[in-house]
């Protein structure tokens, strides 16, 4: 079949870069596989898949339908509604097999632009993506057969179709806005301006198609899904954590669990369900959660007598039992933790890891005899959270205390570690360790006989002591921050300590001319080294698949963020060397085979350290001291956090939020990438010494006496 096409192309002076036959491909994924399975060199190093869809518009019964071929890049999202609106065609549906056969003599699996010939061109209309035509990338195009593929530039496809005499309409498909469904607003606002700028023209076949700094929300979704971290789920606001991301969580669990056990925290499990009586006991506290509480009202076909809530957090679940278990000061401290999931049915736009209706976390709940003991623990835990970010995820955070407005409802004070996402300039709360004081213990009557009570007060209400409580939690949002900060245009970049695969070995330079025993030697060396590195505790994988070429493997593992790639070819084997390629910088180093057990761990450590330092430098560069109000919003808009000498008054905080929101709405387009929201106080950093003396400073917003340097910012 391809002979006719090749002849037509030759007549147009077009020479395909390659022309291959392969296993029949019934889906785009199978096609990737089939091409990947071909020997090294059979296909170009870099190419993209072409997608050809055939639609039937609504046609009067007596008319012969004229199908519409839509030709675009496989990764380009299309909307039938938008295409229909653009082409002035109604109710586009995928064409039935019979129509495909009668108009183009093709099936849905092998249809391609090359299915259009001079003899059938008048049967169809063609909508060609301008982005394909202008691209310099090679496209894989079926030669009107699911088992044959030609590689040609996009422009060649346009010329072929013109020559065949097709009715062609060329348009940039990514700029066609999604047509609103009747009566419903579009799920997400289209942002035409930035979208096409954001595209990565030379993006790899299976890679990320938009730039991180061009279309960050789309980039984030692609990195998570194509990088195998997460999948979307059919209940809105819920996501599937795939093994790659869950492994990160397991690393965090292992570290944190070990450390809290050192101070006597024990794990336990409280039920998922809460009765409404208990849930609503602490008024201040529940006020914050009530609108988001999910209620079970039915089991099977029976209505429950009393609906039960799903825990949004467990303070009110656990504390009635603390009141029962804590009878004497000898029952203190009580330190319990649980690893579980909680549900907060938010109605805002969900975002994987950052704002989800169910999320995984740990929640610690402890009770102490003295405030001093409780205070000490609050900071011990916060320090562990800082270490999770810095030592595991290579992310800088600013530890501090929350303002009265931002503290945990019902608690005494809240400490926090605050992170930063450079691309958006927004802050993100990383984890919080709360002192609850005696508020909950009074509410739930968790009290003991004061061991220091005098003879007179002993046994009387005056001799009772309400316990001092803490609660602290860290969630899977950690993973979202990690992806947002470290990821790049090629995909995920995983910090070595939480990567389920730290090192991948890829045999290279094994073209068709290389003798089999040499190939075997290289493969064996890779397997041996993988074993050797695994034996010293490095999570290593040798990618010995013989059906993929090295380029495909490089992309595969880069997309998934593997920190270090080791390439070994025949010459390397002979010289007992190899090339190490860092995922974070792309930097290449030659390594001696004999000293890998020393050099590879050192390289991984260096990667961790460098990733942290780059992120830290970036965060520091975006924490700006501001002392007069004129600079405030301007500084904020330049993706900075703003550190001001602050009065710490709640009314002032409200004003700061209002004033910084108003200003930005005037001078900047309002979309989800550059939020118009006002700034809130993120924390009062513990490291006050990093800033000038607060003595005599005034709050730039209200002019009142400033108490401490406080970090404000827009935040997730």
**296 is a site residue for a second copy (CB under 8 A):** yes
Sole binder of a second copy in the list 160, 216, 246, 552 (CB under 8 A):
246
Sole binder of a second copy in the list 271, 537, 586, 703 (CB under 8 A):
271
Q: Tell me how far, at minimum, the Cβ of 695 lies from a second copy, in Å.
A: 47
- With beta carbons less than 8 A apart as the criterion, state whether 408 and 432 touch: yes
* Residue 466: alpha-carbon gap to chain centroid: 43
- With beta carbons less than 8 A apart as the criterion, state whether 603 and 589 touch: yes
Of the pair 242, 639, the CB lying nearest a second copy is at: 242
Of the pair 105, 165, the CB lying nearest a second copy is at: 105
- CA 589 to each of CA 250, 526, 568, 580, 599: distance values in angstroms, whole numbers, following the listed order: 31, 17, 12, 5, 10
Q: Tell me how far, at minimum, the Cβ of 141 lies from a second copy, in Å.
A: 18
Q: Tell me how far, at minimum, the Cβ of 115 lies from a second copy, in Å.
A: 17
Of the pair 231, 535, the CB lying nearest a second copy is at: 231
**449 is a site residue for a second copy (CB under 8 A):** yes
Sole binder of a second copy in the list 39, 122, 189, 295 (CB under 8 A):
295
Q: Tell me how far, at minimum, the Cβ of 105 lies from a second copy, in Å.
A: 17
Residues 197-236 within binding reach of a second copy (CB under 8 A): 231, 233-235
- With beta carbons less than 8 A apart as the criterion, state whether 264 and 301 touch: no
Of the pair 320, 601, the CB lying nearest a second copy is at: 320
Residue 202 backbone dihedrals phi, psi, to 5 degrees: -95, 20
In angstroms, rounded to a whole number, what is the distance separating the alpha carbons of residues 658 and 137? 48
How many residues lie near a second copy (CB under 8 A)? Answer: 75
Helical packing angle, 243-262 and 477-486, nearest 10°? 120
Sole binder of a second copy in the list 272, 527, 544, 702 (CB under 8 A):
272
> Among the candidate windows 55-63, 76-84, 114-122, 247-255, which touches a second copy by CB under 8 A?
247-255
**30 is a site residue for a second copy (CB under 8 A):** yes
The three state secondary structure string of 378-394 is HHHHHHHHHHHHHHHCC
In angstroms, rounded to a whole number, what is the distance separating the alpha carbons of residues 292 and 359? 13
Binding mask 325-354 for a second copy (x = CB under 8 A): x-xx-x-----x---xx-x-x-x-------
> Among the candidate windows 45-53, 74-82, 181-189, 239-247, which touches a second copy by CB under 8 A?
239-247
Residues 310-329 within binding reach of a second copy (CB under 8 A): 310, 320-321, 324-325, 327-328
Of the pair 110, 584, the CB lying nearest a second copy is at: 110
Sole binder of a second copy in the list 45, 197, 250, 587 (CB under 8 A):
250
Binding mask 175-194 for a second copy (x = CB under 8 A): --------------------
Q: Tell me how far, at minimum, the Cβ of 592 lies from a second copy, in Å.
A: 32
Q: Tell me how far, at minimum, the Cβ of 419 lies from a second copy, in Å.
A: 22
Of the pair 301, 513, the CB lying nearest a second copy is at: 301
Q: Which residues of 159-195 are buried (b: 16+ CB within 10 A; e: fewer)?
A: bbbebbebebebbbbbebbbeeeeeeeeeeeebeebb
**239 is a site residue for a second copy (CB under 8 A):** yes
Strands 623-625 and 641-646: parallel
Half-sphere exposure of 440 (CA within 13 A, CB side): 33
Which residues, 6 or more positions from 580, have their beta carbon under 8 angstroms from its beta carbon?
564, 565, 566, 567, 588, 589, 590, 591, 599, 600, 603
Residues 539-578 within binding reach of a second copy (CB under 8 A): 545, 547
- With beta carbons less than 8 A apart as the criterion, state whether 701 and 672 touch: no
Strands 708-713 and 641-646: antiparallel
**21 is a site residue for a second copy (CB under 8 A):** no
Q: Tell me how far, at minimum, the Cβ of 372 lies from a second copy, in Å.
A: 23
Strand, helix or coil at 223?
helix
Of the pair 160, 440, the CB lying nearest a second copy is at: 440
Of the pair 278, 395, the CB lying nearest a second copy is at: 278
**592 is a site residue for a second copy (CB under 8 A):** no
Q: Tell me how far, at minimum, the Cβ of 344 lies from a second copy, in Å.
A: 9
Give start and end residues of each alpha helix (H) in 579-668.
Answer: 596-621, 629-637, 650-667
**247 is a site residue for a second copy (CB under 8 A):** yes
**255 is a site residue for a second copy (CB under 8 A):** no
Residues 32-91 within binding reach of a second copy (CB under 8 A): 33
**537 is a site residue for a second copy (CB under 8 A):** no
Sole binder of a second copy in the list 141, 293, 395, 684 (CB under 8 A):
293
Of the pair 255, 345, the CB lying nearest a second copy is at: 345
Strand, helix or coil at 399?
strand
Compute how many other C-beta atoms are within 10 angstroms of the C-beta atom of residue 439: 18
**307 is a site residue for a second copy (CB under 8 A):** yes
Of 562, 579, 553, 583, which Cα lies nearest the Cα of 40?
553
Q: Two tokens at 179?
A: 């047509």
In angstroms, rounded to a whole number, what is the distance separating the alpha carbons of residues 413 and 411? 6
Of 49, 9, 207, 8, which Cα lies nearest the Cα of 132?
49
**24 is a site residue for a second copy (CB under 8 A):** yes
Q: Which residues of 660-670 are buried (b: 16+ CB within 10 A; e: fewer)?
A: bbebbeeeeee
Q: Tell me how far, at minimum, the Cβ of 123 lies from a second copy, in Å.
A: 25
Strands 125-129 and 167-171: parallel
Edge-to-edge, what's the strand order for the sheet holding 680-685?
A: 266-267, 334-343, 358-368, 468-475, 426-437, 413-421, 398-401, 680-685, 708-713, 641-646, 623-625
> Among the candidate windows 20-28, 408-416, 634-642, 674-682, which touches a second copy by CB under 8 A?
20-28
**243 is a site residue for a second copy (CB under 8 A):** yes
Of 104, 93, 20, 9, which Cα lies nearest the Cα of 58?
93
Residues 494-513 within binding reach of a second copy (CB under 8 A): 500
Residues 450-489 within binding reach of a second copy (CB under 8 A): 458-459
Q: Tell me how far, at minimum, the Cβ of 456 lies from a second copy, in Å.
A: 11
**Burial class for 234, CB neighbours closer than 10 Å (0-12, 13-18, 19+):** exposed
> Among the candidate windows 161-169, 355-363, 409-417, 645-653, which touches a second copy by CB under 8 A?
355-363
Q: Is the peptide bond before 148 cis (omega within 30 degrees of 0)?
A: no
The structure tokens 């047509």 sit at 179
> Among the candidate windows 194-202, 262-270, 561-569, 607-615, which touches a second copy by CB under 8 A?
262-270
**281 is a site residue for a second copy (CB under 8 A):** no
Q: Tell me how far, at minimum, the Cβ of 461 lies from a second copy, in Å.
A: 10
Residues 97-156 within binding reach of a second copy (CB under 8 A): 109, 146-147
Of the pair 169, 450, the CB lying nearest a second copy is at: 450
């Amino acid at each position: 079949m391809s002979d006719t096409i090749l002849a037509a192309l030759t007549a147009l002076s077009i020479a395909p870069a390659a022309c291959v036959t392969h296993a029949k491909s019934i889906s785009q994924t199978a096609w990737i596989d089939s091409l990947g399975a071909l020997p090294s060199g059979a296909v170009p190093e870099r190419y993209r898949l072409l997608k050809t869809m055939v639609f039937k518009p609504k046609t009067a019964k007596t008319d012969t339908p004229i199908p519409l071929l839509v030709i675009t890049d496989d990764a380009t999202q299309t909307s039938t509604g938008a295409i229909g609106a653009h082409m002035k065609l109604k109710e586009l549906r995928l064409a039935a097999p019979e129509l495909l056969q009668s108009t183009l003599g093709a099936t849905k699996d092998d249809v391609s632009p090359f299915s259009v010939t001079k003899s059938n061109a008048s049967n169809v209309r063609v909508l060609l993506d301008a982005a394909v035509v202008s691209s310099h990338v090679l496209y894989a195009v079926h030669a009107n057969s699911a088992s044959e593929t030609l590689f040609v530039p996009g422009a060649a496809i346009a010329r072929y179709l013109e020559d065949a005499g097709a009715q062609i309409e060329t348009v940039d498909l990514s700029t066609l806005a999604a047509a609103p469904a009747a009566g419903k607003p579009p799920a997400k606002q289209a942002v035409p301006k930035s979208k096409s700028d954001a595209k990565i023209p030379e993006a790899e076949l299976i890679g990320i198609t938009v730039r991180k700094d061009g279309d960050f929300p789309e980039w984030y979704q692609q990195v998570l899904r194509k990088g195998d971290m997460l999948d979307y789920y059919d209940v809105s606001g819920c996501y599937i954590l795939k093994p790659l991301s869950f492994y990160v969580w397991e690393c965090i669990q292992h570290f944190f669990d070990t450390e809290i056990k050192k101070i006597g925290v024990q794990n336990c499990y409280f039920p998922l369900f809460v009765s409404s009586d208990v849930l609503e006991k602490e008024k201040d506290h529940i006020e914050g959660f009530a609108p988001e509480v999910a209620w079970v009202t039915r089991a099977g076909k029976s209505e429950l007598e009393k609906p039960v809530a799903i825990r949004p957090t467990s303070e009110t679940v656990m504390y009635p039992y603390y009141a029962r278990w804590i009878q004497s000061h000898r029952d203190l401290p009580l330190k319990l933790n649980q690893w579980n999931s909680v549900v907060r049915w938010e109605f805002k736009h969900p975002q994987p890891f950052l704002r989800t209706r169910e999320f995984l976390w740990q929640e610690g709940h402890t009770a102490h005899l003295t405030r001093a003991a409780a205070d000490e623990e609050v900071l011990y835990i916060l320090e562990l959270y800082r270490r999770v970010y810095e030592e595991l995820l290579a992310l800088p955070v600013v530890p501090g205390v929350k303002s009265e407005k931002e503290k945990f409802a019902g608690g005494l004070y809240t400490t926090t570690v605050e992170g930063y996402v450079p691309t958006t300039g927004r802050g993100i709360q990383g984890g919080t360790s709360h002192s609850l004081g005696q508020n909950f213990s009074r509410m739930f009557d968790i009290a003991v006989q004061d061991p220091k009570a005098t003879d007179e007060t002993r046994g009387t209400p005056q001799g009772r002591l309400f316990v001092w409580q803490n609660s602290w939690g860290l969630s899977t949002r950690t993973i979202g921050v990690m992806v947002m900060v470290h990821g790049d245009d090629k995909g995920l970049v995983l910090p070595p300590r939480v990567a389920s695969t730290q090192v991948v070995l890829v045999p290279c330079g094994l073209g068709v001319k290389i003798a089999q025993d040499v190939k075997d030697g290289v493969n064996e060396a890779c397997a041996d080294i993988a074993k050797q590195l695994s034996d010293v505790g490095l999570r290593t994988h040798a990618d010995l698949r013989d059906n993929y070429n090295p380029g495909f493997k490089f992309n595969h593992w880069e997309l998934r963020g593997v920190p270090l790639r080791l390439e070994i070819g025949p010459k390397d084997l002979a010289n007992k060397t190899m090339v190490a390629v860092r995922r974070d910088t792309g930097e290449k180093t030659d390594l001696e085979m004999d000293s890998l057990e020393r050099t590879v761990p050192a390289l991984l450590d260096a990667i961790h350290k460098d990733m942290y330092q780059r992120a830290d430098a970036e965060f520091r560069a975006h924490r700006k001291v501001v002392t007069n109000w004129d600079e405030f919003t301007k500084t904020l808009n330049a993706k900075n956090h703003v550190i001001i000498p602050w009065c710490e008054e709640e009314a002032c905080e409200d004003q700061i939020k209002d004033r910084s929101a108003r200003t930005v709405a005037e001078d900047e387009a309002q979309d989800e990438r550059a939020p118009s929201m006002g700034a809130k106080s993120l924390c009062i950093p513990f490291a006050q010494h990093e800033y000038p003396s607060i003595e005599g400073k005034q709050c730039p917003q209200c002019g009142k006496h400033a108490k401490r340097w406080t970090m404000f910012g827009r935040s997730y």
